[in-house]
Amino acid sequence: DPESYLSTSPWQIMSFEAEQHYKAALIEDAFELHDIVLPDPIEVATDGRVSHYRNKVEFSFFGFEDTESNYEYLKLAFFQRGGKGKIPVAACSLLPASMMDLALDICAYLESVQVTARQLKTLLIRCDQQGNCVWQLYIKEEACGFMSEHEAAGFKAQGGEVIYSDPRSPASRITKRLLSVGNVVLTDTILGVPFRYATEGFFQVNIPVYEQALSDMKQWTKSEAPIVDLYSGVGSIGLTIGGDACTLIEIDENAVREMKRNIKEQGSGAIAVLAPSEKALDYITGEEIVIVDPPRAGMHKDIIDRLLEVTPSRIIYLSCNPVTQARDVALLAKKYGIRAHKGYNFFPRTPHIEHLVILDRKDTFLA
């Protein structure tokens, strides 16, 4: 992607072998910042696929006018890395062909009816592992006069929506759904367990590598202890490896709604709790195995304090930011040691790396 790689995947400049090496080095450096020496050589798991792996993309738009004909051309675009400028794109090596083709078709339609970039925010597209796509077009106007239900249903997708997003905010947030066609809820299977999730909701971008991480995590949940899954999203960790005695805690109302539907459809005995993880500390009693998969900022201090207070025997910590993970592990080191750890290359050709740490209470190392 010579035009856009700096915006999407700047590590295209190196071989995949070099990328794997440097990602292991990033993990090592993050822990050394907190004077933590990881007990084993750092392994970075991958399925070997370096392109067409993403199941989600968000495009901006770039418009320019032919001054002679007054015709406005419309292009898909990504923002420049570290800036506010836009880069027009017609291809992206990280995306399956079905997603890129759908995005180009929607953009071509919008151009044909002379919708301008100024009227639009973003185009969000997600697909499941079978290649079924759902799209959401976020616009800055409260009426959708440029597209009918019939026209919206004509794109090669299982469903789509036009959404008014308040232009006073630069973020593509749902203010009002203006038009909806087809089935806009996606379904994927993770370790044999089906999950429903909303197009705009959080779900893993690279499911095959995510399944590798879950399989590894599952090896550390084989005791009879119940599970508490913090920052649980739609439940893709707890509902695959947590068993029926699992409590899932999530702050996002839409994610919890899908989680409850997943629990019902799976016939699981798991419990869904709508709350910020740091406000649900009573669910951490010390009798459970605690699983955490926090945002890039890491765990809330109140959660760390609670873990140190009640000392569950094991903490399973999956992180999208080894720097904040290392910070949290250093704080927990008063009572916990690292039993195992492993990296996962969820996002090939980018600097991002996931890291799993298994923390066991120090007295169990002597058992």
Q: Which residues are catalytic?
A: 320
How far apart are the C-alpha atoms of 182 and 134, rounded to whole Å? 9
The single-letter code of the amino acid at 52 is H
User: How far is residue 13 from each of residues 17, 21, 28, 80, 250, measured CA to CA in Å?
Assistant: 12, 14, 22, 17, 38
| SS3 (DSSP) at 364 | helix
Query: What is the radius of gyration, based on Cα positions, of the chain?
Result: 22
- Residues written for the chain: 367
Place of tokens 């740490």: 357
Nearest CA to 233 among 213, 254, 212, 263? 254
Long-range interactions of 238-241: CB distance < 8 A, separation 24+? 238/270, 238/291, 239/193, 239/195, 239/263, 239/266, 239/268, 239/270, 240/190, 240/191, 240/193, 240/214, 241/191, 241/214, 241/217
Check residue 134 and report its DSSP letter: E
How far apart are the C-alpha atoms of 317 and 297, rounded to whole Å? 13
How far apart are the C-alpha atoms of 280 and 101, rounded to whole Å? 44
Place of tokens 């509902």: 239
